[in-house]
Amino acid sequence: MGSGMTDQPTTHIQLSSSVVAEAKRLRNTRYALLAPGILTIFCIGIMPLSIVLVYSFLEPGDFGGISWVLSFDAYVQLLFEEDIFDETLSFTTDYIQIFLRSVSLALFTTIACLLVGFPTAYFIATQPPARRNAWLFLITIPFWTNLLIRTYAMLLILRDQGVINLSLIEIGLIDSPIPMLYTDFAVCLGLVYAYLPFMVLPIFASLEKLDFRLVEASYDLYATRFKVLRRIIVPLAKPGIAAGCILVMIPSLGAFITPALLGGGKSLMLGNLIELQFGQARNWPFGSAIALVLMVLVMLSLISYLRFGAKKGTPAHG
């Protein structure tokens, strides 16, 4: 009895402690398994960003680097400048103009990619399954080559002594080359060419799942072709369109190889502006501030875009 009295709680304690140990082990395993991921995010995500954040609130050091003095100059500088003539602080539009150029270029690229990419994706999605893969394969082929090389190829096509101009002169359509390279047109063409697959693939993924019986049904109900597109196909492909637009817009915003090569480097893009501050301008805090403002803007537009997309999406389901 005595032994039983002692036995009972012991087993209970043993049991509960083994449960606790098991739970602890599980929790430890979970943390251990998560550790590489968390460590990676911390080391290559959070830590460098914190350095950028801290640097943006300091003063530039001698000959590059920073000096440990708290300062908000970097952010003030973005919007205001001391007038070169009378030393008053006045509103400056230089940086806003560079922001706007980058944004409008990215927007234009996204729209052009959508206009070309959507029909392409639709075409592929309506092919017999066996042939779809071949088409997708063709879309991904340019990805096998480095972006820089593809951009150079574009350079060779567009330049004064390039493929287009030389063949036009050869057949006698023009006497002197049409200057196409080093214009905004060339930059946009280069960006559209580079990012088109990012638009086609997600839209294709959406359209592939689309039940084409719905399209047939709407035709049966006397919908016009345009109505079918507007009321059936586009709403159902919306997640793909949204994903495609985001995937094209964001890299276009930060693009600088393409604008530098095809635009002739006469206008700064955001990427070049940031690079300038870390290089010749020797103003690391200002460079950090621009990088952060750009990141916040992209994040805000992304969040609002997703919210907007989600709200539009919900009633469509209902």
Partner 1 sequence: MKSKILSMIMAMGLTLTVGSVSAAGELHIYNWGNYTNPEMIEKFEKMHGVKVTIDGYDSNETMLAKVEQGGSGYDIVVPGDYMIAIMIKKGLLERVEPNKMSNFKNIDKKWVDVYWDEGRNYSIPYQWGTTNFTVDSTVYKGDVNTLALLFDPPAELKGRINMLKDMNDVINAGLRYLNYPRCNSDKAQLKELNTMLIKAKANWRTMDYSVIEKLTSRDVDLSQSWNGAAKRARKDRPELVYSYPKEGFTGWMDNVAVLKGAPNLENAKLFMNFMMTPEAAALTSNFANYANGIMGSEPMMNADLTSAPEIVMPASAPAPEFVPPCSQEVTDLYAKIWTNLNK
Q: Which residue in 74, 200, 273, 289 binds partner 1 (CB under 8 A)?
A: 273
Query: In the complex, what is the shortest distance from the CB of residue 111 to partner 1, in angstroms, rounded to a whole number?
Result: 24
Among 88, 146, 176, 280, binds partner 1 (CB under 8 A): 280
**Least gap, CB of 101 to partner 1 (angstroms):** 8
Question: Is residue 48 part of the contact set for partner 1 (CB under 8 A)?
Answer: no
| Rg over CA atoms, the chain | 29
Interface stretch with partner 1, choices 21-29, 132-140, 156-164, 246-254 (CB under 8 A): 156-164
> Cβ distance 202 to 110 under 8 Å?
no
Cβ 280 to partner 1, closest distance in Å? 4
Of positions 58, 106, 113, 181, contacts partner 1 by CB under 8 A:
181
Please identify, using beta-carbon distances, which residue of 17 and 90 lies nearer to partner 1: 90
Q: Does 270 bind partner 1 (CB under 8 A)?
A: no
DSSP-derived secondary structure for the chain = -HHHHHHHHHHHHHHHHHHHHHHHHHHHHHHHHHHHHHHHHIIIIIHHHHHHHHHTTSEE-TTSSEES----HHHHHHHEEE-TTT--EEE--HHHHHHHHHHHHHHHHHHHHHHHHHHHHHHHHTS-HHHHHHHHHHHHGGGGS-HHHHHHHHHHHHSTTSHHHHHHHHTTS-SS----TTSHHHHHHHHHHHHHHHHHHHHHHHHHT--HHHHHHHHHTT--HHHHIIIIIHHHHHHHHHHHHHHHHHHHHH--HHHHHHSTT-S--HHHHHHHHHTTT--HHHHHHHHHHHHHHHHHHHHHHHHHHHHHHHHHH-
192 makes contact with partner 1 (CB under 8 A): no
Residue 21 or 156: which CB sits closer to partner 1? 156
Among 265, 303, 307, 308, binds partner 1 (CB under 8 A): 265
Contact window for partner 1 (CB under 8 A) among 109-117, 118-126, 266-274, 294-302 = 266-274
| 22, 94, 211, 216: residue in contact with partner 1 (rule CB under 8 A) | 94
Residue 226 binds partner 1, judged by CB under 8 A: no
Q: Applying CB under 8 A, which of residues 160, 184, 236, 250 lies at the interface with partner 1?
A: 160
Applying CB under 8 A, the site for partner 1 has a residue count of: 34
Binding positions for partner 1, 50-89, rule CB under 8 A: 60, 62-64, 81, 84-85, 87
Please tell me the distance from the alpha carbon of residue 52 to that of residue 291, in angstroms, as a whole number.
8
Residues that bind partner 1 in the complex, under the rule CB under 8 A: 60, 62-64, 81, 84-85, 87, 94-95, 97-98, 101, 159-161, 179, 181-182, 260, 264-268, 272-273, 276-277, 279-283
